[in-house]
């Protein structure tokens, strides 16, 4: 199940690298026995370049939130 979270995180980071000219990424994770959450803060993105990002996230995650400066990814472990 964590490999699905890794695929989604890789897609988000790829989108950020393609969409932001420069800046700092801050990646945080929190988990317990049931849920693993990854939060990625990044420079503001006006237009995302990864066209099918939502489809990738829908396929591999249980929940997510994408804003112009942050991505929150969630995967249930059970």
Residue 70 clears pLDDT 90, i.e. is over it: yes
pLDDT at 46: 86
Full residue range of the structural domain in which residue 38 is found = 2-76
CB 76 within 8 A of CB 62: yes
In what side-by-side order are the strands of the sheet with 63-67?
A: 26-31, 35-41, 70-76, 63-67
Q: How far is CA 5 from CA 21, 24, 53, in A?
A: 25, 21, 13
Looking at the whole model, is its pTM more than 0.85? Answer: yes
Contact 18, 47 (CB under 8 A): no
When divided into structural domains, the chain yields a total of: 1
For residue 27, what is the domain's CATH number? 3.30.70
pLDDT for 4-42, tens place per residue?
A: 999 999 999 999 999 988 999 999 999 999 999 999 999
């Amino acid at each position: 199940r964590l490999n699905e979270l890794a695929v989604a995180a890789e897609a988000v980071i790829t989108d950020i690298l393609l969409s932001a000219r420069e800046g700092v990424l801050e990646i945080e994770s929190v988990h317990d026995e049931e849920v693993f959450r990854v939060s990625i803060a990044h420079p503001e993105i006006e237009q995302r370049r990864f066209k099918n990002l939502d489809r990738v996230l829908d396929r591999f995650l249980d929940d997510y939130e994408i804003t112009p400066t942050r991505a929150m990814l969630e995967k249930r472990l059970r």
